[in-house]
Amino acid sequence: MLLQSLVALAFATLTTAQVTYQNFSGTRLRVDNGTYGPEIEEVHYYYDQWPIGIAVASDGRIFTTYTRGSYRYTLGVVVNETAEEPYPSLALNLPVNELNTTWHGIAFGSDNANAFISVQALYITPPSNYTSRPETLWVLDTGRPTVHNAQGDPSMPYAQPGGPKLMAISLANNTIYETFTFPSTVHYPSSYLNDLRFDLRPHLSGTSGKGIAYLVDSSNEGRPGFIMLDLGTGESWRRLTQDISVLRGQQDVPSYQGRPFYFRQSGQPVNWQQEGLDGLQLTTDGERAFYSPLSTNVLYSIPTANLRERDTNPTAELDAHSNVSSHGQRGGNANGFEGDSNGLIYQLIPEQNAIYAFDSSKRGNGQTQGFVRDPRIIWPDGASIGADGFVYMNINQLPFQPDWNFGVDTRTHPGAILRAKLPNGGTKVSTLY
Ligand SMILES: *[C@@H]1O[C@H](CO)[C@@H](O)[C@H](O)[C@H]1NC(C)=O
Ligand SMILES: *[C@@H]1O[C@H](CO)[C@@H](O)[C@H](O)[C@H]1NC(C)=O
Ligand SMILES: *[C@@H]1O[C@H](CO)[C@@H](O)[C@H](O)[C@H]1NC(C)=O
Ligand SMILES: *[C@@H]1O[C@H](CO)[C@@H](O)[C@H](O)[C@H]1NC(C)=O
Ligand SMILES: *[C@@H]1O[C@H](CO)[C@@H](O)[C@H](O)[C@H]1NC(C)=O
Ligand SMILES: *[C@@H]1O[C@H](CO)[C@@H](O)[C@H](O)[C@H]1NC(C)=O
Ligand SMILES: *[C@@H]1O[C@H](CO)[C@@H](O)[C@H](O)[C@H]1NC(C)=O
């Protein structure tokens, strides 16, 4: 009897002290609250199209992109807390039924160089000290929409010259003032323009002195690399194509929200994410480019001089390869990058609901550090530093989208723009323009 009541008493004590299910308020155990770093502020809510890219202008305007498909427009500007509108106009968006075409049974994206097809990324350069360029919104159109067949299976047509392009919009008069396209020997039919950075200084080796764009080709089909564009001559060339540092991680299985992720596309067997080179950021002196594929954990960098070296140099590609630095693993796959005036290279880490940072300045200790983490950061896609010293990021719940989940959409509105104050008075990099 005594023993039984002791057991009963012990059991009762145990059960009352136990915290059940996911209610941690009564536990004596240490709990990961999912956060660290500066306060996260909710800036904007997306209730309509799901966003990809973001750029914040000096006057506070926030521009966003939406890859197409079926969406009505692909470049927008935030107009209030819950809505965006086409920018600079709806008319610049090619109608959905003109986004792709078929030639000899092969699907191609449109070759229209004068209209938006599917804009992936944006970058804003301030009024230039070295060229006549005003504050400019650079618009990177992949020319490769994601289209769906009658069964709803997604596919991405190949690019035709003309479709993939870089457009310059003056933020002073909201007008496209220049467009660059690429030959098929530089932008392959299977290329995918994913990100962009600029250096407008006149002394740059390998250029005409009117500035350069460094573009990311993230090609899921397997020939990723860098595309450079001379902004004076319009000439373009590639570097590090299929270098080990830009290739996808083989059979990579990241975890999102604590669940292993496989690529589940309707009409295809279960697969792995195949995307290569994705994030790119220049150092404040423009001498080095940091980068990484989407589907590996490794951070790399290369002297930008090696990227600018032209094909007339027979060892340009060998030199570039031998000058790649690996900064080792950083603790997760990374998506888009940003960088600040203190030399921090911010890396968006969807697996950790976080932004990590690598200090590229002399103060750096060679290690990637956590900057900010929050359970609301469910796939941070693009980031952009505003004139206010905050980093703004798009939250788009990408791993829950139907094209990665056998057609089932488990995203829940709204998507969001979040922001966090940069450490130590960091601001947007201004030294290269
Ligand atoms: C969580 O547990 C505490 C006591 O441990 C209780 O007061 C509270 O009502 C619980 N909350 C929910 C949502 O069940
Ligand atoms: C969450 O945990 C971190 C690390 O222990 C702590 O610094 C932070 O203040 C906590 N945040 C909240 C909201 O409790
Ligand atoms: C936000 O802008 C949209 C589109 O212009 C408009 O329909 C809506 O009424 C606005 N909402 C608020 C709260 O101002
Ligand atoms: C565009 O792609 C869709 C999906 O594959 C296809 O149904 C449609 O016929 C294509 N349009 C053209 C003009 O080829
Ligand atoms: C807009 O600004 C650009 C760049 O300064 C200039 O080239 C262009 O002529 C301007 N367009 C209009 C319509 O004002
Ligand atoms: C590697 O980059 C450095 C600049 O950081 C340059 O001086 C050197 O010539 C480059 N080496 C090769 C083989 O390109
Ligand atoms: C260009 O001018 C701006 C404003 O005067 C300055 O902040 C910036 O550092 C300059 N950029 C360079 C590369 O000198």
Cα distance from N-terminal residue to C-terminal residue, the chain: 85
Task: Give yes or no for residue 22 CB within 6 A of ligand 1.
Answer: no
Cβ contacts of 220 within 8 Å, gap of 6 or more: 156, 192, 248, 274, 275, 276
Name the residue of 15, 22, 23 whose CB sits within 8 Å of the most ligand 1 atoms, as the mutation to test its pocket: 23
Q: Which of 8-22, 127-141, 371-385 has the lowest mean pLDDT?
A: 8-22
Q: With beta carbons less than 8 A apart as the criterion, state whether 181 and 115 touch.
A: no
Pairing of strands 62-65, 119-125: unpaired
- Assess whether the previous peptide bond of 414 is cis (omega < 30° from 0): yes
Confidence of residue 307 (pLDDT cuts 50, 70, 90): very high
Name the residue of 35, 40, 371, 373 whose CB sits within 8 Å of the most ligand 2 atoms, as the mutation to test its pocket: 35
Cβ contacts of 337 within 8 Å, gap of 6 or more: 195, 279, 280, 281, 290, 291, 292, 345, 346, 347, 348, 383
pLDDT the model gives residue 24: 87
In a domain, 200, yes or no: yes
Judged by its nearest atom, the ligand closest to the C-alpha of residue 109 is: 4
Place of tokens 């990961």: 32
pLDDT the model gives residue 23: 85
Confidence of residue 13 (pLDDT cuts 50, 70, 90): very low
CATH code of the domain covering residue 240 = 2.120.10.30
What single string gives the DSSP state of each residue in 246-283?
TSPPTT---EETTEE--BB-TTS-SB-----EEEEEE-
Task: Give yes or no for residue 13 CB within 6 A of ligand 7.
Answer: no
Task: Give yes or no for residue 26 CB within 6 A of ligand 1.
Answer: yes
Give the chain's domain count. 1
Task: Give yes or no for residue 285 CB within 6 A of ligand 6.
Answer: no
Is it the case that residue 1 has pLDDT exceeding 50?
no
Task: Give yes or no for residue 110 CB within 6 A of ligand 4.
Answer: no
Read off the pLDDT of each residue in 197-202 and give the average, rounded to a whole number.
98
Q: With beta carbons less than 8 A apart as the criterion, state whether 227 and 159 touch.
A: no
Name the residue of 79, 81, 87 whose CB sits within 8 Å of the most ligand 3 atoms, as the mutation to test its pocket: 79
Model pLDDT for residues 332-363, shown as the tens digit of each residue: 999 999 999 999 999 999 999 999 999 999 99
In a domain, 390, yes or no: yes
Task: Give yes or no for residue 47 CB within 6 A of ligand 3.
Answer: no
pLDDT the model gives residue 4: 55
Task: Give yes or no for residue 323 CB within 6 A of ligand 4.
Answer: no
State which ligand 7 atom lies nearest to the alpha carbon of 128.
1
Residues 233-256: b if buried by 16+ CB within 10 A, e if exposed: eebbbbbbbebebbbbbeebebeb
Model pLDDT for residues 87-120, shown as the tens digit of each residue: 999 999 999 999 999 999 999 999 999 999 999 9
Place of tokens 């449109």: 110
Q: Which residues pair with 340 in a beta bridge?
A: 428
The fraction of the chain above a pLDDT of 70, given in percent, is 95
Parent domain of 98: 40-425
Model pLDDT for residues 43-81, shown as the tens digit of each residue: 999 999 999 999 999 999 999 999 999 999 999 999 999
Confidence of residue 6 (pLDDT cuts 50, 70, 90): very low
What is the average pLDDT value for the chain, to the nearest integer? 95
Read off the pLDDT of each residue in 176-180 and give the average, rounded to a whole number.
98
pLDDT the model gives residue 16: 53
Task: Give yes or no for residue 88 CB within 6 A of ligand 5.
Answer: no
Nearest-CA residue for ligand 6 atom 4 is 303
Q: Helix or strand or coil: residue 155? A: strand
Is it the case that residue 190 has pLDDT exceeding 90?
yes
Strand residues in 276-366 grouped as ranges (E): 277-282, 288-293, 298-303, 325-329, 337-339, 344-349, 354-359
Model pLDDT for residues 379-391, shown as the tens digit of each residue: 999 999 999 999 9
Is it the case that residue 393 has pLDDT exceeding 70?
yes
pLDDT the model gives residue 21: 76
Read off the pLDDT of each residue in 131-150 and give the average, rounded to a whole number.
98
In a domain, 6, yes or no: no
In a domain, 25, yes or no: no
Read off the pLDDT of each residue in 172-188 and give the average, rounded to a whole number.
98
In a domain, 71, yes or no: yes
Cβ contacts of 218 within 8 Å, gap of 6 or more: 192, 193, 194, 195, 224, 275, 276, 277, 278, 293, 294
Longest dimension (CA), the chain: 95
Q: Which residues pair with 55 in a beta bridge?
A: 63
| Size of the chain, expressed as the number of residues it contains | 433
Q: Which amino acid is at 408?
A: V
In a domain, 17, yes or no: no
303 C-alpha to ligand 6 centroid (Å) = 7
In a domain, 29, yes or no: no
Is it the case that residue 22 has pLDDT exceeding 90?
no
pLDDT the model gives residue 11: 46
Q: How many other CB atoms are there within 10 angstroms of residue 14's CB atom?
A: 9
64 C-alpha to ligand 3 centroid (Å) = 17
Place of tokens 């989407």: 294
pLDDT the model gives residue 17: 56
Name the residue of 125, 138, 173, 179 whose CB sits within 8 Å of the most ligand 5 atoms, as the mutation to test its pocket: 173
pLDDT the model gives residue 9: 46
Read off the pLDDT of each residue in 246-258 and give the average, rounded to a whole number.
97
Q: With beta carbons less than 8 A apart as the criterion, state whether 112 and 145 touch.
A: no
d(CA 142, CA 363): 37
The helix (H) or strand (E) run that includes residue 3 is helix 2-17
Phi and psi at residue 239, in whole multiples of 5°? Answer: -150, 150
pLDDT the model gives residue 25: 87
d(CA 209, CA 180): 17
In a domain, 204, yes or no: yes
Nearest-CA residue for ligand 7 atom 7 is 430
- Between the alpha carbon of residue 294 and those of residues 86, 258, 312, 314, 380, the distances in Å are 29, 18, 31, 30, 12
